[in-house]
Structures are given as C-alpha cells and as structure tokens.
C-alpha cells in the first residue's frame, strides 16, 4: 500500500494534536544544546520543527517533506525561522556534514527504504552530531490509534488491511534499534 500525504488539513485534524505532544516530549528527551544546525526530515505540518525552534534556538533549521502542501503549511506556520523545502528522505538536498542534528518524527516507517534514509541522515550530519527519529509503536502501545482502527474494523471488516498494527508490525522500539 502506498501512502499519500498531500492534504495537510486532513492530517492536522486527525493527528496534529498528537504530533505536537510527541514532538515536545522527543525534544525534551533529546536534550540538545542551543545554537545548532538542524534538519527535520518529513516535517509534515511543522510540529517537530516548531518544538526545535521554541526550545533550542537553532542557528539553522531546514525542514524537508515530499508534499508541497505540507511544506507550504510548515513554512507559513514557522515563517522565516525555518527553511522548508520539498525533498526526498532518500536523497537529501544537503551537503555532507552540513548539520549538527538530523531528526525525523513519525515518518521512518512510511519511507520505503528506511535504511537508505538513515544513511542519508548520517551523511549530512557532522562527526559527533546526532541522528534521531521517533515513530509510533503501531505494534503495541499506541492505544489511541489502535482504538480508532479497531472501531473502523468493527464497522467495515475490509479496514483490517489498513489497521496500522497490521501494516507496521515492526514499528516498535526493538525493530528501530535493529534498524539503527
């Protein structure tokens, strides 16, 4: 199944509030210093970029997404504090060692070649820098999405193929550790 991330409004209505909450927690956990050069891959509507801006005062923040609508929304939301560009996680439009921190939130499991995306993140991150991602634990602990999909399956059994615990059985901490 190919996911299509084109409508920012739909995403914000469905997931926006959750994306903002987890972005804040992730940045707090990451605990980086201020004044660094950042890259946000799969920036979506800008939740993670916003958490970076308001908590760690980056000198540079580049946000990349493959959807023009998401990039436009994120740029409008975050103004000149970030450079939002349309791009592909498998071929990042940045030079080698050009950022201190490369992050990605709630995206890696949707990328067809996550190993290649991580390789690209490492390529653009300087020596001693940080590459970090987070995803929903679709296989187990993301109750609000599990309840949603369980209800969808109860209404229409064909939704079982779309149930994210079935689509992303390896979206959990152990699989992410192996991938890294």
Radius of gyration of the chain (CA): 16
Between CA 119 and CA 139 the distance in angstroms is 25
What integer pLDDT is reported at residue 8 of this predicted model? 56
Laid out side by side, the sheet with 99-105 consists of 83-86, 60-65, 37-41, 99-105, 125-134
178: pLDDT strictly greater than 60: yes
Q: For Cα atoms 177, 48, 161, give the angle at the middle one, nearest 5 degrees.
A: 60
Instruction: Find, among 34, 75, 83, the residue nearest to 54 by Cα.
Output: 34
pLDDT tens track for 66-124? 999 989 999 998 988 899 999 999 999 999 999 999 999 999 988 989 999 999 999 99
What size, in residues, is the chain? 180
CA-to-CA separations, 108 to 20, 57, 145, in angstroms, rounded: 17, 25, 17
What integer pLDDT is reported at residue 2 of this predicted model? 52
Report helix, strand or coil for 59. coil
When pLDDT is cut at 50, 70 and 90, the band that residue 43 belongs to is: very high
Show the domains of the chain with their CATH numbers.
Answer: 8-135 (3.40.50.150), 136-180 (no CATH)
What integer pLDDT is reported at residue 163 of this predicted model? 77
pTM of the model: 0.84
Three-state secondary structure of 60-91: EEEEEECCHHHHHHHHHHHHHHCEEEECECCE
143: pLDDT strictly greater than 70: yes
What's the whole-number average pLDDT of the chain?
87
């Amino acid at each position: 199944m190919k996911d299509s991330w084109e409508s920012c409004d739909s995403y914000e209505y469905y997931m926006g509030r959750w994306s903002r909450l987890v972005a804040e927690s992730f940045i707090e956990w990451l605990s980086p210093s201020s004044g660094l050069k950042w890259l946000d891959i799969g920036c979506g509507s800008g939740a993670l970029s916003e958490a970076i801006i308001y908590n760690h005062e980056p000198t540079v923040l580049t946000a990349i997404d493959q959807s023009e609508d998401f990039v436009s929304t994120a740029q409008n939301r975050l103004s000149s504090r970030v450079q939002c560009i349309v791009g592909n996680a498998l071929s990042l439009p940045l030079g080698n060692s050009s950022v201190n921190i490369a992050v990605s939130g709630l995206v890696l499991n949707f990328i067809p070649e996550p190993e290649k995306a991580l390789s690209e993140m490492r390529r653009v991150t300087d020596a001693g820098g940080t590459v970090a991602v987070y995803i929903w634990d679709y296989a187990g602990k993301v109750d609000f999405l599990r309840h949603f999909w369980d209800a969808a399956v109860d209404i229409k059994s064909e939704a079982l193929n779309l149930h994210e615990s079935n689509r992303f059985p390896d979206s959990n901490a152990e699989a992410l550790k192996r991938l890294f």
